[in-house]
Amino acid sequence: MKKDNTDKISILFVLNKNFAHKAEYYRRKYQRARNQDIRENHYKKYRLYNDLCQRCRELFSSLVYPKKFGWGRHFWEFDAKEYIEKQAKYKQAKKDKFETAYRIHLHFFQNSFSADYGTYNCDRCKRQFHHSPSDVYLGSKKKFSHCCGHCVNTLLERNGQETIFN
């Protein structure tokens, strides 16, 4: 199983918040300082914390990038909890979609009714046919293993999917 990064992401959110807070603190200090040395000192600290923030963002991107994070600029506004909930919902939706869709595996990679690969009996309608038989999966479950093209099209159509035999 793929390792979950949610712990790391939670830590990054906290770190980034602290660094951003400190960066802002020193930014104000250096803007207000009258003495040049003190001013430079505050500025260096500001830069340090600002760089740390930047580093947090890079780490965050590298953690979420493989998951094709698609919320654009909004993602940084989410806190860790919201992020984790959103991820879980997204995974569930993807799983639901997979489990309710038919997947067709053609035995001969040819989706024409006029092809002739011998004589087969359909698992579903029991009729004889000559085109490529198909394995039919609903999600991860195999439903039929020698399905005719008419049945394949009917199943796909009733499920709101595009037909493949013609």
Residue 134's closest CA among 103, 161, 158, 159? Answer: 103
Q: How far is the CB of 135 from Zn ion (least distance, A)?
A: 13
- Contact pick of 22, 107, 124, 130 for Zn ion (by CB under 5 A): 124
Binding string to Zn ion for residues 60 to 99, with x set by CB under 5 A, is what?
----------------------------------------
Query: How far, in Å, CA of 132 to CA of 140, rounded?
Result: 22
Segment near Zn ion (CB under 5 A), from 40-48, 53-61, 111-119, 124-132?
124-132
Binding string to Zn ion for residues 132 to 161, with x set by CB under 5 A, is what?
----------------x--x----------
Q: How far is the CB of 154 from Zn ion (least distance, A)?
A: 8
Q: Report the site for Zn ion in 16-45 (rule: CB under 5 A).
A: none
125 binds Zn ion (CB under 5 A): yes
**In terms of C-beta density within 10 A (0-12 exposed, 13-18 middle, 19 or more buried), how is residue 97 classed?**
exposed
**In terms of C-beta density within 10 A (0-12 exposed, 13-18 middle, 19 or more buried), how is residue 149 classed?**
buried
Element (H, E) at 106: strand 102-106
DSSP line for 136-154: EEETTEEEEEEE-HHHHHH
Q: How far is the CB of 156 from Zn ion (least distance, A)?
A: 13
The residues of the shown chain that bind Zn ion, judged by CB under 5 A, are 122, 124-125, 148, 151
